Structure 1
Amino acid sequence: MSAPIPTPTSSIPHRVKAQINQRQSSLSSSINSYISQVPNNHSHSRNLSEDISTLEVDLNKSEDNLNKLPVYLTKSNLSSCQGNLGLEDSEAYGILIRIVEQIVAPTEEDETPSNHIEFLKRKDTLLVIIMMLLLVISYILQTVNSHVIQFRTKGILVELALLSSLVIWSYYISIYESKRFARELYERAKLILKVLEDNRVRPMRMIKVPIFPTLSIVEVYRDGFLHPLPIHLTVMGDVIELPLGSKSFVDMEFYADYYGLELNKKLVLRKGQTLKAQFFDCIPQIVEEMDTFKFKLLETRLTQTLKDTVIQERPVSVIQNQMKRIKHLFIRRLGILVFLLSLIVSCLIYFVFDLPRGHNNHWIELLIQVPTYTFLAWVPLSFPNLWFLVRNYCNAYILVLFEALQKNKEEFEDEEDIDEFDTEAPSPVKNVEINMKQVLSKFWSLVTRKDHNFSLTRSTNLFESLGSITTICVIDKEETIATPFPQIEELMFLDDEENTVLLDLSEDSDYYPNGIKFEDSDWQKYMQLLKPLGFNLLLSTRCRTEKTRKNDWEPHLIDPLNQIKCNLCPARQTCLCRLGKEIGFKDDIVDGFSHQKTIVLSAPYHPAIEDPMFKKCKMELPTVTSNLYEEVKSSSYQLFSSGHPELILDLCPDFWDGMSLRPLSGACQAKLHDFYQNAIVKDSQVIAYSYRPINVANRERLTFLNSQDLSVIRLDEASVIPHTPLDTLPSTSTSDQNQSPMIRYLSLNKPSASEEDAEIDPLLAEQNPEVFYRSSVKDQVFLALSTMAHQPKNDVCDFIEDLSLAGIRFAYLSPGSEKESKAFAERLGLETDWNTCIRMSSEEEEDFEDHYIKAHLPRGIEQIRDHLENVDDIPLQVSLFAECSPSAVTEMIKIYQEYGEVVCCIGNSLNYVNTPSFAAADLGIAVEPLNRHIATSPASRKRNPQLELHSTLSIGSTLTSLPCGLFFHRDTSFFVLTQIIREARRLMAAARQGGTFLLACGLGISMLYIVSIALLLPPILYGYHIFWLSWLILSFISATFLWNPHEPNTMTSFVSKNVDHVQDFWRFFRYGVFRMIVLVGIWIVMFWVSWQSIWEVTSDGGDKHNDSKWHRHGDWSNWNTNHQWAHLHCQNILLMFIVYHLTLVSSTFMSRTLPIWEYNPFQNYIWIISVLLMWLLQSGFTLIFFIFSPFSIEQIFGSLPLHYYLIGFLSPLVFIPFQELIRWFDRRKFTKFQKRSKLEFNTKLGLHSPV
């Protein structure tokens, strides 16, 4: 049975009631007197300090008495520890080094023979080796059977040497990349090991560390001193200090020996358990004496983190899956078919034409060499090596660009041709100049293992993942996508009619003079209510003006949060001096007051901690911070308080209505409780404010006060009464509100009437200061409640909107409750309808809401897969997940990946639970909440760079973000991410188009070979011609696509998912055939014309009459020297025009969809230079043969007819429009794909959602 809740006046004698009313009237007139002289907003300033001294009225009300508060205890009764407490740094770091080496280092031995055998088992490798054996057989047979050694027979040796070199190089690259991939994580970890081994770690001062939930820092004893350390730097055996409300990150044992306690059983705080006062039920006195409690760790958290990290396997990137699919179809299937088709055509030619005419030796080339060349022309052998270079270059470019964007402090701006009112405009960009020297240096370091930062470009597939991202998962709020400390949103107070007044506020330092503004136009009519609050806010801050703030981490509040050893909400660290200035106070108005003392009242047993309404909220220990000030001129004292609303309301029997003091009735408290309760479940943090003057006898000074000391008053369990559930509180709409009971959680004794009017005796207060402190905090006047909430960082909302335009889904995986998550999601601009949030906790809690049942949404991570298979795909469409545990986040990322999503995970680099999620995602991005690096002086670093020190934050951040590919500084705009995604998409499209160009050219050369053989022409090209063309000329041209300019639709187009790759392969194959068929016809005609013309010049008279120009009628396996040179010159001249044609055709491959008149290829200066260089190089290749030729240049080129040159130089006027026609068909398909993708992306209605 709950104890009766006392009413405000039921137990007070009538004589005392009269005295109370008289004092209230006196105090009201005093407050009105000083408020009337406080400046009205920005109009004029009065001296508030001269008038506030009149408020020396004793507020010792009879209904509040804190006599049951325990006397403030010291630690003198604790046993002293022998020796240093905790481990030594060297010992702890040695443990960390062994853990990292044991778990991560095994990849160093990942050089097993399976990698070598796997390379040899690859079908493309086996096919190339078979082709080499065929060439060897062909060379031997031709050497034995030919009467005259042919040039082309000697060329086989060159071809074999080139193929052997290619296979050996490909083998080396394959093994090298496998080893680099396996060792990347360990190489990065070795950086940390090196720092730990050299003991180049600098401890971090606690005052520099803010407090918010996603910052995993704990106080650890090292070398006998207490230091804040990231959780990942703690080891088994460490002694740590935990305040009440902390959640255990490993199993830990209460360190009873330190306190000289002998317990019957060990007190073990299990992993994930929250430390509450009830944990010490067997020793309750320790809660009354201590702020924090010492525990000894039974596990090393880093061990489990690394194990969870190394078992994660990232999916293969989209473009690599596409290459595997193309390799399977293009090489293994079509390649063999092309080889067989060429063999069949050669057999028909040999048995139908050559064998009947006695050309018995032709079978060697026709049946062995020609099919081999056809296959080698078909297979882009240079592609793996080209991909190795392209991939490293793209990664280097992305890393250099990313670093440049973070260093550049200019604003992101829309491009010049973008309309600022266009809702579908792409993301703004920052114009930064990329130093190509830096890119090439980074490229070289990535290739040669000299990347000292050990970027995980291989294991994260950096540029491939960035260019293919379809989902971005954000798993942290504070200092990731939201401000570290909440900003004020509302002020709530009571007016003279006991009605609640709610004022909305907004913060914007760029537009408002004081950085904050009231949204209500008539807010000044509440000036009398606001001015006591404004003065409270100004006195509670260290900063005089906003300009004096150096950074967000400075302690702006006089409330010494780093000394209050308890769990507090981040709102307690928010400075509101700007609000005081907005109300009307000037900077110098507080000069007349001197801070004398800070008193902290904490209630570890307060029933609000166990309130079921807040079971999903982060635990906050109810505390009140009271700052005592002395007015210098009058030596009067004022107490201003702020803190937990429940505790403030327990201390305030009255409230200020703007004119006088009024009793804080039960109905008023119910209204305040309703407001507080609704704000908490909507992701807001609530702070209450109160005030009271301290009346000292004869206005004497309290000389014993010390502003540097902190006095803490702790309420024991006997000081609170049983909790009354909020849902049983009286309704605020009752007709007789004044008869509603008071809501009290503190057990209060009634003072006598004489005690009420007594002034404080300075002598007695000095003799027993703790009694003075306890009496000072009671009987305060309630001023207001403020709600604060974390606001999205600058540009985050626009960033999310731009992501949707790019087909990238933004998902916020929140650990908070559904209502809390929806409230913040609404600030982000996400949809918060009834079917847009999925709760990831299990169904065991059975707290379904009506809308949840109606929408048939899955509940719990274990139901997501079943829902996707049997119901609909809503879990992949929503952008909000609530009640997410770390394991649920990792599992949801895997589910995304199973359905083809390329996931980028963004989280805090100092939140230890994020590491497995970073490792599971395709790309992890760690946002650094604090400055990670602390170094020695610049002079000492110049003398010896090895002396550079690293902060513990830096080491802990690196361990947490070990699998991450990118690191964001805390002030980096998220538009940096959209810009590097844009750049990665450009590079990805360029690489894909370059590969398509190579495949198309290979297809064209193979077609040329088959058609030429079918038309009874000799080999139109030799093997070394093919290698020269595909390995050098075409590879070089395709590589220049990397410098293609941006397409306007880069960030408004949807990319393919990582599933069902290259479904339109046969359509692309047809496009390739159609693109090349005209060119093949032109080349066949040109070769035939040149063969006829040059044959006449190089043949003697007998040859002219005895051999037809259609050379198949002769025995070409025994050509004389002149015939061989004629054939070789025909090939070289044709090859020169092939290069000329293909370089021009490459301009139509630069963009997949845009026609050449919209996408100007001449913007790519590298491509222009390369084309000219390739023309020059090919001309040199053609002309160099004339050094050894018996014929002059004039003889050969002069023999070619005019129409040969016309066909060669003017044919682009024919095949370029034909290329554009084929691209037009492809563009239609691409447009349909985009429309379908956008429709699927924007459709969020599930099977059970309303239509």
Structure 2
Amino acid sequence: MGDTNEQILGYSTKSALKKLRDDIQRVIEEHKQKNPLRFDIIRNIISFSSEKVLLSGVAYTVTVINIICLILTYLIDGTALAQGYLLWEALFLFFILIINFLVALNEEYLHRNEIPHRIAKVLETLNEAIDLCLWKEEYYPHLCAPFSPCVILQWTYRDGTIVNLPWALLVEGDVIVLRPGQEVPGHCQGLQSDDPELFFGQIFTPGSQAKENSSVPRSRAPHQNKAYKMCETPYLKNLKLALEQATTRPVTVFEKQRYLCTVKIMEGIVLPLVILLMVFASLFRHIYHLPGVTHWTEIYFLQTIAASLPLLQIIFPIAWVTLNCYGLARFKSISEVRQKYTRPKSCSISEDASDPLIQALSESTLHPQIMKTLGKTFFNILFGREDMVTRTSNIVHVLGSLSALCCVDKKGILSWPNPTAEKVFFLRNSSPASNNSSKTSLVTSMGHQSDTTLDQLQDRNNPEPSTIVEVLDLTHDQNAPFRVEFDEQRWRQHITRLKPLGLAALLNTCAPEHTHNYAHFCAHLTCEAQYSEDLVPVTNRRCLCELAKQIGFNDSVIDAYTTQECLAIFRHLQADTIRRETRFRTLPSSQYACESAFTAYARCYS
């Protein structure tokens, strides 16, 4: 491991998890002290300018005035209109108003505390891991696992052993091993006095930063790994950012449309205008004693209430929250069905109603067990107990607002970090009488005949022999992303030509005993690419063992061979040389950059 020292043991797993738990708890306490629950939560749930408000202060004010008017009409009016139903109406409005207020208060509280509640569950998981701390070396990802931008792993000393630790479990004081060309996971300091201090996002490039121009092939020592000590807990930076920005996320399209229609238009424009018109109309009727005029409380109170009450939409906020919770519960139910479902190998993907997955997803929700599970999930989401994000980010709103879906692939995001082969390219002889790709192989397979006889046979069967290009397509298995299958059944006709490819794949690309050498070589190339902006090497392993197994080989074939030597070679392409090449002039910049580095890894076996 380069300059690493065997006495460097770092933390034990239990000590590191305890430190991570204590650091997270400290951040949560600081966040609670900076953001205590105050009366501003009341202001947020009635603010007319907030796009997340369910029922604004205008609606609350008008509803309270209507309740008071109903009570006054009951107390003042001595006619038959002043009956008990007016009190019941006032009580019903008050009850609905209280429910709306409690629902809005619950939504605002859960929106503010959703991320802290999620972190509390993380702390519970950490406490369970600390109590049952039996993490062995084989439980971690392989040290030579390919790089992936969505799953960040870091070589770290844990329990006296170097393991491939997930980035989020690093803590301050951890001893990590940086590989050449690797991005630094956080602020760290070298163990030696002359080691430079590194910060998050920097690329670790040991040795000289000057690019060496050499036109003569020569051997060179690979860049070495180096041990560093973490000066911070990287996860805390993301945690603080999540806590600070949890309540400032932009609202969804549906939230904006609801706010525009129900709050700004109905409560801000239509409702005041209707109330104003009714007051003037009531005043006109009362002054001129128009026909149908009864007691003044009916004119000014009851008729105004009858005109304004339908515009208040006091039931809509309750229905909005209920439907949102039901949609999220239904979404989780569907996702759980998909996770439990395994498509048969012989079944192809389709949208036909006979597809087993379509049948499973379209199963009636009236089944008692499904209804029970759905109801439990609904109430858990309503009260914020479900293990999913529902307030700060609503997956139902996001998916419902999509008008078009465009999947742009980026290595490690939508695709697997260890890609598989898609095509197999080889050459074959055009002679139908030969199953081999060359005259030499034909002579070997028919050694009892003379060269003259073979030449005559070939001339007679194929007067003008030529080479034919064959390309066979491969497809991922639907249930195993690393398994491949040939698209055409005729691939078995070329089995004699495919076997050398399969054997070479097992003995070179997929040989397990040299994964560390290959990873070290890839790290060296990545570091070399930092010296020139024209170099962007693709250093991930290309696993082809599944292709070899499809051809007919198994893992035991490797046991018959012994490694003699390992050789890693690469070549720098000069910028002026690349510009002179015609084939580079028409390539996009990304392809141009990838072509500017050549990597090879060869092994000799006996």
Structure 1 counterpart of 2:103? 173
Tell me how far apart the structure 1 counterparts of residues 44 and 507 of structure 2 sit (CA, whole Å). Answer: 73
Structure 2 counterpart of 1:566? 520
Tell me how far apart the structure 1 counterparts of residues 114 and 157 of structure 2 sit (CA, whole Å). Answer: 33
Structure 2 counterpart of 1:391? 324
Q: Deviations over 1:1164-1204 (max 9, x none)?
A: xxxxxxxxxxxxxxxxxxxxxxxxxxxxxxxxxxxxxxxxx
Tell me how far apart the structure 1 counterparts of residues 513 and 6 of structure 2 sit (CA, whole Å). Answer: 30
The offset of 1:314, in angstroms, is 2.0
2:562 aligned to 586, 591, 596, which one? 596
RMSD: 4.8
| Compared CA separation, residues 415 and 577, structure 1 to 2 (3 A) | closer
Structure 2 counterpart of 1:1026? none
Q: Secondary structure at the match of 1:235?
A: coil
Question: Quick check: 1:192 aligned with 2:192?
Answer: no
The offset of 1:311, in angstroms, is 4.0
Question: Quick check: 1:93 aligned with 2:23?
Answer: no
| Compared CA separation, residues 432 and 278, structure 1 to 2 (3 A) | farther
**Larger relative contact order (Cα-Cα within 8 Å, sequence gap ≥ 6):** 1
| Compared CA separation, residues 309 and 279, structure 1 to 2 (3 A) | farther
Residues 503, 548 of structure 2: 8 Å contact kept = no
Structure 2 counterpart of 1:216? 152
Tell me how far apart the structure 2 counterparts of residues 693 and 224 of structure 1 sit (CA, whole Å). Answer: 35
Q: Deviations over 1:867-919 (max 9, x none)?
A: xxxxxxxxxxxxxxxxxxxxxxxxxxxxxxxxxxxxxxxxxxxxxxxxxxxxx
TM-score by length of 2: 0.69
| Compared CA separation, residues 514 and 367, structure 1 to 2 (3 A) | closer
| Compared CA separation, residues 158 and 567, structure 1 to 2 (3 A) | farther
Structure 2 counterpart of 1:112? 38
The offset of 1:364, in angstroms, is 1.4
Structure 2 counterpart of 1:274? 203
2:93 aligned to 163, 171, 185, which one? 163
Tell me how far apart the structure 1 counterparts of residues 42 and 155 of structure 2 sit (CA, whole Å). Answer: 50
2:418 aligned to 477, 482, 485, which one? 485
Q: Secondary structure at the match of 1:388?
A: helix
| Compared CA separation, residues 500 and 520, structure 1 to 2 (3 A) | farther
Question: Quick check: 1:536 aligned with 2:462?
Answer: no
Tell me how far apart the structure 2 counterparts of residues 449 and 466 of structure 1 sit (CA, whole Å). Answer: 21
| Compared CA separation, residues 114 and 428, structure 1 to 2 (3 A) | same
Residues 503, 519 of structure 1: 8 Å contact kept = no
Tell me how far apart the structure 2 counterparts of residues 506 and 367 of structure 1 sit (CA, whole Å). Answer: 81
Q: Deviations over 1:514-534 (max 9, x none)?
A: 83479999x97995xx77555
Tell me how far apart the structure 2 counterparts of residues 534 and 380 of structure 1 sit (CA, whole Å). Answer: 70
Larger Rg: 1
Structure 2 counterpart of 1:468? 401
| Compared CA separation, residues 372 and 300, structure 1 to 2 (3 A) | same
Question: Quick check: 1:124 aligned with 2:59?
Answer: yes
Residues 236, 297 of structure 1: 8 Å contact kept = yes
Residues 180, 223 of structure 2: 8 Å contact kept = no
Task: Give the alignment of 1:1111-1122 within 5 angstroms.
Answer: none
Tell me how far apart the structure 2 counterparts of residues 589 and 155 of structure 1 sit (CA, whole Å). Answer: 84
Q: Deviations over 1:644-701 (max 9, x none)?
A: xxxxxxxxxxxxxxxxxxxxxxxxxx99xx99x997746999775757676xxxxxxx
The offset of 1:448, in angstroms, is 2.8
2:178 aligned to 208, 224, 242, which one? 242
Q: Deviations over 1:381-432 (max 9, x none)?
A: 11112222121111111111122122222465324599xxxxxxxx988644
Q: Secondary structure at the match of 1:87?
A: coil
The offset of 1:250, in angstroms, is 2.1
Tell me how far apart the structure 2 counterparts of residues 525 and 113 of structure 1 sit (CA, whole Å). Answer: 76
| Compared CA separation, residues 177 and 276, structure 1 to 2 (3 A) | same
Task: Give the alignment of 1:194-593 within 5 angstroms.
Answer: 194-198=124-128, 199=130, 200=132, 202=135, 204-207=139-142, 210-214=145-149, 215-256=151-192, 263=193, 265-278=194-207, 292-312=225-245, 313-326=248-261, 327-353=263-289, 362-410=295-343, 412-415=349-352, 431-433=361-363, 434=365, 435-451=370-386, 453=387, 455-470=388-403, 477-478=410-411, 480-488=413-421, 489=423, 491=425, 504-508=471-475, 515-516=485-486, 533-540=501-508, 557-561=511-515, 565-566=519-520, 568=522, 572-576=541-545, 578=547, 582=551, 587=553
Residues 478, 485 of structure 1: 8 Å contact kept = no
Task: Give the alignment of 1:1009-1048 within 5 angstroms.
Answer: none
Residues 183, 201 of structure 2: 8 Å contact kept = yes
Residues 282, 299 of structure 2: 8 Å contact kept = yes
The runs of 5 or more residues in structure 2 that have no matched partner are: 48-56, 211-219, 429-436, 439-465, 523-537
Residues 538, 590 of structure 1: 8 Å contact kept = no
Tell me how far apart the structure 2 counterparts of residues 233 and 613 of structure 1 sit (CA, whole Å). Answer: 46
The offset of 1:345, in angstroms, is 3.5
Residues 222, 521 of structure 2: 8 Å contact kept = no
The offset of 1:182, in angstroms, is 0.9
The offset of 1:440, in angstroms, is 1.1
% identity of equivalent residues: 18
Which letter does structure 1 place at the counterpart of 2:116?
A: Y
Tell me how far apart the structure 2 counterparts of residues 104 and 531 of structure 1 sit (CA, whole Å). Answer: 59
Q: Secondary structure at the match of 2:207?
A: helix
| Compared CA separation, residues 242 and 689, structure 1 to 2 (3 A) | closer
Q: Secondary structure at the match of 1:346?
A: helix
TM-score by length of 1: 0.36
The offset of 1:164, in angstroms, is 2.0
The offset of 1:564, in angstroms, is 5.2
Q: Deviations over 1:89-116 (max 9, x none)?
A: 3443344334434545636955210122
Which letter does structure 2 place at the counterpart of 1:445?
A: N
Tell me how far apart the structure 2 counterparts of residues 531 and 416 of structure 1 sit (CA, whole Å). Answer: 41
Residues 568, 602 of structure 2: 8 Å contact kept = no
Residues 86, 239 of structure 1: 8 Å contact kept = yes
The offset of 1:471, in angstroms, is 6.4
Task: Give the alignment of 1:1154-1173 within 5 angstroms.
Answer: none
Residues 337, 360 of structure 2: 8 Å contact kept = no
Task: Give the alignment of 1:21-32 within 5 angstroms.
Answer: none
The offset of 1:300, in angstroms, is 2.5
| Compared CA separation, residues 540 and 308, structure 1 to 2 (3 A) | same
The offset of 1:161, in angstroms, is 1.7
Task: Give the alignment of 1:804-953 within 5 angstroms.
Answer: none
Residues 250, 270 of structure 1: 8 Å contact kept = yes
| Compared CA separation, residues 592 and 441, structure 1 to 2 (3 A) | closer
| Compared CA separation, residues 154 and 377, structure 1 to 2 (3 A) | same
| Compared CA separation, residues 115 and 249, structure 1 to 2 (3 A) | same
Tell me how far apart the structure 1 counterparts of residues 476 and 390 of structure 2 sit (CA, whole Å). Answer: 39
Tell me how far apart the structure 2 counterparts of residues 348 and 687 of structure 1 sit (CA, whole Å). Answer: 92
The offset of 1:179, in angstroms, is 0.7
Residues 190, 229 of structure 2: 8 Å contact kept = yes
Tell me how far apart the structure 2 counterparts of residues 117 and 161 of structure 1 sit (CA, whole Å). Answer: 25
The runs of 5 or more residues in structure 1 that have no matched partner are: 1-73, 257-262, 282-286, 419-426, 542-555, 616-669, 695-1251
Q: How many correspondences in the alignment?
A: 507
Tell me how far apart the structure 1 counterparts of residues 94 and 555 of structure 2 sit (CA, whole Å). Answer: 86
Tell me how far apart the structure 1 counterparts of residues 64 and 394 of structure 2 sit (CA, whole Å). Answer: 30
Tell me how far apart the structure 2 counterparts of residues 153 and 189 of structure 1 sit (CA, whole Å). Answer: 55
The offset of 1:332, in angstroms, is 2.7
Which letter does structure 1 place at the counterpart of 2:474?
A: E
The offset of 1:228, in angstroms, is 1.7
